[in-house]
Amino acid sequence: MSKFLFAILFTGTVLMGCSKGTDNNSDPDTIGYFMTNLKASMTYTDIVNTFGQPDGDLGSGIHIYYYDLKDGTKVYIGYTDKIEYARHVNSSGTIIHTLI
């Protein structure tokens, strides 16, 4: 009986541990994390506190902060004194999603 109970508990523990690895909403370098956490009302400080320092700034006139994601795509955040837009783009710069 105790071997059977141990087998059930062990299997449940392993399955719970595996499911955590597939949660893209907790990894800051994924689009899921940006989709869950990016809000139009964020200040620059909020953005940095949530996503870390941008990987760069492409802007000329306004800031266009960008973040490189694990899948090779990027998130562009157009910012003046507020977020003007946020876009998820592929490697050639084509918009995949408009986030804000």
Residue 97 has pLDDT above 60, yes or no: yes
pLDDT for position 42: 98
pLDDT digits (tens, 9 = 90+) for 42-71: 999 999 999 999 999 998 899 999 999 999
Kindly report the three-state secondary structure assignment for every residue of 58-98.
CCCCCEEEEEECCCCCEEEEEECCCEEEEEEECCCCCEEEE
Tell which residue, 60, 63, 58, has the closest CA to residue 47. 63
What's the number of CA atoms in the CB half-sphere (13 Å) around residue 54?
A: 18
> Angle 51-55-60 (CA atoms, 0-180°, nearest 5)?
110
- pLDDT category at 25 given cuts 50, 70, 90 is confident
> What pTM value is reported for the model?
0.75
Determine what percent of the chain is predicted with pLDDT higher than 90: 71
